Amino acid sequence: MTKEFTLEDLKRVLLASAGAAEGVDLDSNILDIDFADLGYESVALLETGRQIELECRVSLDDGALAQVRTPRALLSLVNGHRNAANAQLREAS
Amino acid sequence: MSTSVVVTGLGIASPNGLGTKEYWSATLEGKNGIGRITRFDPTGYPSQLAGEIDGFEAGKHLPQRLLPQTDRMTRLALVATDWALEDAGVKPGSFADFDMGVVTASSSGGFEFGQRELQRLWSLGSQHVSAYQSFAWFYAVNSGQISIRNGMKGPSGVVVSDQAGGLDALAQARRQIRKGTPLIVSGSIDASICTWGWVAQGASGRLSTRTDPSRAYLPFDADASGFVPGEGGAILILENGSAARQRGAKIYGEIAGYGATIDPKPGSSRGPGLRKAIELALADAGVGARDIDVVFADGAAIPELDRIESEALAEIFGPRGVPVTAPKTMTGRLYSGAAPLDVATALLAIQEGVIPPTVHTAAISDYQLDLVTGAPRRAKVRTALVLARGYRGFNSALIVRDFRESSNN
């Protein structure tokens, strides 16, 4: 069983894959702020998604990733995939 | 009368000096920027010398957000653009977005970034390739990133014609200004000193294999044996001349004339095209050979190409008829970055009344060149001709002229 992918995890991956925009404080309450307002455009999110896939060993659907607008929605997408993967693991065992 | 197009800002990144002031004083001193490669261990490669830019720390100049998505050449180009805009007194917002465009040249794109991602692809798998590989290597990436960073939405693009591209981009920028865009960021920065880039460059068979930095790149010399590559170049701010005057901008000079030709294919009975390119540029500028005060030579250091260049110059200007210089002997050949740096140097020569020297080289007497060697030469420089040739037959010639005296324009 793998643990949840948290906001702290996401911030770490965002910084590593795309850096931080000037004037944006990732430590403020960013959960519901649009990624565009945080300075992350579509390619930055694609790169972030790629890093999360490698780290969490999940496969995120590119189409679903493109729909994600906020950190909360991205965390929900990632953890949804993880829970589904974990459930499959449980069934298989 | 056509709109005059002038240069109001310079941003220079050169192996012998970072920034205009440092570059210009180094160039007058004859400081050599060529040395043994430090970026990787060149042992085992046939060519081991390059003109590398030392002391450039991108993180000190650029926002952290840009670093994961940029190759070295893009970082240098973005910083050189910042310097050029500052030099021109152009602040973000002082022009409307669609009144500013970006036209740069590129010779190879972001090789170092591409090499890293290819290594990841083959050693770790496709999931490990950065999404930024989609554009970070690309020829047009410098134009794109400069445009995004500065909010420039006017006509933009990239010209890819090897070393000649540096002049072709300035000519394209001039066209866009004449069509109505008030300001274009132009010029070029190239940088591909990485192992993959080095192998690709070596494939031309034109690189010097000498190991003594003062005997390796010797254009027009009896010992000419190929060139030493370098990294860097210059970004120039081009503006509509009357508009620049109106806003009280400092004006380095005017882009007065341009001509370009392609050499005939090998074995053709037609001669090389360089002479014709020069004649086209002279006609475009409305000047004669006697009006040219200095020529910034292409200086390939390939005996056959040196002969073609010196013959073209002797035919047009007469034997030893015009001072000729190749300050790129201090930097190596910067591919598409070379000619914009030469244009910037020519504008500084106009401003300061001094022709910088060609170093290390002694021209073969048969070439009949008045090559400025050893030390800078004091001279009244009003009009300068810059030449650049690209691999596989591109020839371009550009004329810059003092704008202070041309008040009738």
Q: What is the mean pLDDT of residues B253-269?
A: 96
Q: Which residues of A touch B69 (CB under 8 A)?
A: 18, 43-44
Per-residue pLDDT band for A2 (boundaries 50, 70, 90) equals low
User: In which region does residue B360 sit, left (phi positive, over 0), alpha (psi from -120 to 50) or beta (all else)?
Assistant: left
Interface contact flag, B128 A18, Cβ < 8 Å: no
Query: What angle do the packed helices B338-352 and B165-178 form, to 10 degrees?
Result: 70
Q: Cβ(B208)–Cβ(B226) under 8 Å?
A: yes
**Domain positions in chain A:** 7-20+29-92
Burial class (CB in 10 A: 0-12, 13-18, 19+), A81: buried
Mutation target to probe the A interface, by most A beta carbons within 10 A, among B62, B65, B67, B145 is: B65
Predicted confidence (pLDDT) at residue B375 exceeds the cutoff of 50: yes
How many C-beta atoms lie closer than 10 Å to residue B379's C-beta?
A: 14
Predicted confidence (pLDDT) at residue B407 exceeds the cutoff of 90: no
Per-residue pLDDT of B228-244, as tens digits, reads 999 999 999 999 999 99
Question: CA-to-CA distance for B305 and B6, rounded, in angstroms?
Answer: 31
Q: Cβ(B34)–Cβ(B213) under 8 Å?
A: yes
pLDDT of the residue at A32:
96
Per-residue pLDDT band for B406 (boundaries 50, 70, 90) equals low
CA of B278: how far to CAs of A58, B258, B299, B383, in Å? 61, 8, 15, 14
Q: Cβ(B108)–Cβ(B192) under 8 Å?
A: yes
Per-residue pLDDT of B271-310, as tens digits, reads 999 999 999 999 999 999 999 999 999 999 999 999 999 9
Q: In this structure, what is the dihedral angle of CA atoms B170, B175, B176, B180, given to the nearest 10 degrees?
A: 140
Q: B145 to chain A, minimum CA–CA distance in Å?
A: 14
Largest CA distance in chain A: 49
pTM: 0.95
Per-residue pLDDT of B160-205, as tens digits, reads 999 999 999 999 999 999 999 999 999 999 999 999 999 999 999 9
Strand residue runs (E) in B241-380: 253-262, 294-296, 323-325, 354-355, 370-371, 377-378
CA of B81: how far to CAs of B74, B119, B150, B179, B386, in Å? 10, 31, 9, 23, 22
Q: Cβ(B197)–Cβ(B151) under 8 Å?
A: no
DSSP structure class, residue A75: H
Please name which of B47, B32, B29, B371 lies closest in space to residue B229, comparing C-alpha atoms: B47
What CATH class is the domain A7-20+29-92? mainly alpha
Question: CA-to-CA distance for B113 and B124, rounded, in angstroms?
Answer: 16
Share of chain B above pLDDT 90, in %: 96
Predicted confidence (pLDDT) at residue B388 exceeds the cutoff of 90: yes
Dihedral pair phi/psi, residue B324, rounded to 5°: -125, 140
Q: Cβ(B186)–Cβ(B168) under 8 Å?
A: no
pLDDT of the residue at B1:
56
Q: What is the mean pLDDT of residues B8-20?
A: 98
Tokens linked to B68: 């994961």
Looking at per-residue pLDDT, the higher value among B94 and B237 belongs to B237
Interface contact flag, B131 A39, Cβ < 8 Å: no
Per-residue pLDDT of B326-368, as tens digits, reads 999 999 999 999 999 999 999 999 999 999 999 999 999 999 9
How many C-beta atoms lie closer than 10 Å to residue B311's C-beta?
A: 17
Q: Which residues of A touch B64 (CB under 8 A)?
A: 19-20
Per-residue pLDDT of B18-32, as tens digits, reads 999 999 999 999 999
Please name which of B291, B258, B292 lies closest in space to residue B277, comparing C-alpha atoms: B258
pLDDT of the residue at B268:
93
Per-residue pLDDT of B121-169, as tens digits, reads 999 999 999 999 999 999 999 999 999 999 999 999 999 999 999 999 9
Identify the contact set of chain B against chain A, taking CB-CB distances under 8 A: 63-69, 127-128, 130-132, 134-135
pLDDT of the residue at A85:
79
pLDDT of the residue at A83:
84
Per-residue pLDDT band for A84 (boundaries 50, 70, 90) equals confident
pLDDT of the residue at B31:
98
Q: Cβ(B214)–Cβ(B129) under 8 Å?
A: no
Q: Which residues of A touch B131 (CB under 8 A)?
A: 43-44, 46-47, 50
Dihedral pair phi/psi, residue B151, rounded to 5°: 60, 40
Interface contact flag, A50 B131, Cβ < 8 Å: yes
Mutation target to probe the B interface, by most B beta carbons within 10 A, among A17, A37, A42, A52 is: A17
Per-residue pLDDT band for A81 (boundaries 50, 70, 90) equals confident
pLDDT of the residue at B108:
92
Q: Cβ(B335)–Cβ(B163) under 8 Å?
A: yes
pLDDT of the residue at A11:
96
Looking at every residue in chain B, the average pLDDT score rounds to 96
Predicted confidence (pLDDT) at residue B49 exceeds the cutoff of 70: yes
Residue of A nearest to B64 (CA): A19
Bridge partners, B259 (sequence order)? B397
Predicted confidence (pLDDT) at residue B210 exceeds the cutoff of 70: yes
Per-residue pLDDT band for A22 (boundaries 50, 70, 90) equals confident
